[in-house]
Structure formats: C-alpha cells, structure tokens
Amino acid sequence: MTLLAVERIKLFSTRSPYWCSALALILGVGLTAIIAGTTENGQMSIGLTQFGSSQLALAVVLVMSALAVTTEYRFSTIRATFLAVPNRISALVAKTVVVAFIAGVLGEIIAFGSWALAKVMSPTSDLAINTGAEWRHVAGVGLLFGIGAILAMAVGILVRQTAGAVAILLVWNMLLEGLIGIIPKVGVKIQAWLPFQNANHFLALGGADAAEQPGAGIDFKLSQWGSLAYFAGIAVALLVVALIVAKRRDA
C-alpha cells in the first residue's frame, strides 16, 4: 500500500495527468454534445453517446499513461525510485496499478457523463440502458481504458522516450490497425487479431449503429468478452516483457 500511495503522489505532482484528464473529458463528452446538438431530437442512440470515448478519449489516456513512466526516465527520477525500492518490478507494478485505476475511473466518468449529457440534450430519445449489451457498451469503457493504460505503460517502460512511446501508441491505435485492413485478401483476417480492433469489438453494440462503429466488417473469431480477455492478455504479456527488460538494463 505504501508503494501505491507513493506512486499516486508522484503522479499527481506533475501537470500531465490533470491536462490529459481534462482533454479526455473534453474530447469524449464534448463530441457527444456536438452530436446531440446536431442530431434531430429523438434520434440519439446509446451508440452515438459513446462515439468519442473509444477513439479520441482513449488516445489521450494512452498518452497520459505513457507519460507517467517516460517522464521519470526523461528527468532521471526513475533512478531515485529504484534506489529507494531496489525491487524494480514492485515499483513499476505499483505505478501501473495506480495509472490503470485512474484511467479506468476516468473512462467511467467520460462514458456515463456522455450518456447523461445526451439524455439532457435529447430528452425524447430512447437512451435507457436496459440490455446487457448496452451496459457493456457504456460501463465497459472504464475496463477498456484501464487495460489500455497497462499496455501504454508497457510501451513506455520499453521505449523510455516520450516522443517514441506516444508515436508508437497513437500510430498503432489510430492509423496502422486501420490501414492493415486494406491489404488484399488477408488484411481483414489480420485485423481480427489486432489488440485495439478487439477492444473495439468488445464495446460494439450492434443494431442500427453497427455499420458506423469501429471494427465493422471484421469477422472476429472471439466473443465480445473473449476479445476483452484477448486485449487484456496482450497488455499483460507486454507488461511482463517490459518488466523483465527494465530489471536487466540500466536505469
């Protein structure tokens, strides 16, 4: 518990968590406000309320998570951390737990904040959360953000440089996985096993909005909860590799 408290204090002693959290809220909830404001009253759906959460807000959370560790390497404060806690794995796992928890809570705030704002702006729309799929689509955002934070922390530990880690995360999430789909014959098959595509599959609501949701047209081999487990497995596996590398190399 002491390590967790220390990592929480260290994280919030910098400005990046505050700025990134604010930006994620603005992008996630703000995009919902724009959609609700430009959509005819009564035509909003559960799927549209979360349009900004799984893409733009997630990208900011990935950046925030990577900064949590690369900033320490940049200013060499990680050396003081490892001197105070000789067990490097314990220190890095504590940091990852703190960042993942904050990312998960932020995801839930954005998801339910977007949904509540849509209900206020479009009162005649049917935005009641009744089915399991609808609960997964909204409440699942926090799970997705938490796992994404673990993956981003792993990349940050491996790369150690802010620019490199952020570039890898954003290009992979927002560009590369989508471009792979244009490879003739095998592109869509490869996409079915890519991490962020499976993350999107977990949140997919189906129904009338299915064609507009990320991952539409991909023949996923796993169930939606299976896709979440697969995404989590990749994040944890990458983190294990990062911890092993961090233990063996110089700080």
pLDDT tens for each residue of 121-162: 988 888 999 999 999 999 999 999 999 999 999 999 999 999
Highest mean pLDDT among 79-93, 104-118, 173-187, 201-215: 104-118
- Of 41-50, 68-77, 126-135, 159-168, least confident by mean pLDDT is 41-50
At 1, is the pLDDT very low, low, confident or very high (cuts 50, 70, 90)? Answer: low
Residue identified by tokens 């570039």 is: 167
- Whether 251 shows a pLDDT value over 90: the answer reads no
At 212, is the pLDDT very low, low, confident or very high (cuts 50, 70, 90)? Answer: low
For residues 62 and 144, the answer to whether their CB atoms sit within 8 Å is: no
Q: Which domain holds residue 141?
A: 2-248
- Whether 216 shows a pLDDT value over 80: the answer reads no
Provide the percentage of residues in the chain whose pLDDT is more than 70.
95
Could you give the C-alpha distances from 93 to 9, 123, 193, in angstroms and in order? Answer: 15, 44, 26
**pLDDT at position 133, please?**
92
For residues 124 and 41, the answer to whether their CB atoms sit within 8 Å is: yes
Spatial neighbors of 169 by CB under 8 A, at least 6 apart, are: 59, 62, 63, 66, 151, 152, 155
Spatial neighbors of 141 by CB under 8 A, at least 6 apart, are: 50, 53, 54, 107, 108, 110, 111, 203
* Alpha-carbon span 63 to 86, nearest angstrom: 27
- Whether 82 shows a pLDDT value over 70: the answer reads yes
Q: Which is it for the CA torsion 230, 231, 234, 237, positive or negative? A: negative
- Whether 210 shows a pLDDT value over 60: the answer reads no
Q: What domain count does the chain have?
A: 1
Residue 184 is classified by DSSP as T
- Name the average pLDDT for the chain: 90
Could you give the C-alpha distances from 12 to 95, 97, 150, 168, in angstroms and in order? Answer: 12, 14, 18, 24
Residue 54 is classified by DSSP as I
Q: For residue 15, count CB atoms less than 10 angstroms from its CB and return exposed for 0-12, middle for 13-18, buried for 19 or more.
A: exposed
* Alpha-carbon span 199 to 231, nearest angstrom: 6
At 207, is the pLDDT very low, low, confident or very high (cuts 50, 70, 90)? Answer: low
- Whether 194 shows a pLDDT value over 80: the answer reads yes
For residues 38 and 126, the answer to whether their CB atoms sit within 8 Å is: no
Residue identified by tokens 């060499």 is: 76
Mean pLDDT of 5-21: 89
Provide the percentage of residues in the chain whose pLDDT is more than 90.
63
At 209, is the pLDDT very low, low, confident or very high (cuts 50, 70, 90)? Answer: low
pLDDT in tens, 178-188: 899 888 888 88
Residue 56 is classified by DSSP as I
**pLDDT at position 213, please?**
58
At 231, is the pLDDT very low, low, confident or very high (cuts 50, 70, 90)? Answer: very high
pLDDT higher at 206 or 144: 144
- Of 42-56, 59-73, 128-142, 208-222, least confident by mean pLDDT is 208-222
At 55, is the pLDDT very low, low, confident or very high (cuts 50, 70, 90)? Answer: confident
For residues 73 and 92, the answer to whether their CB atoms sit within 8 Å is: no
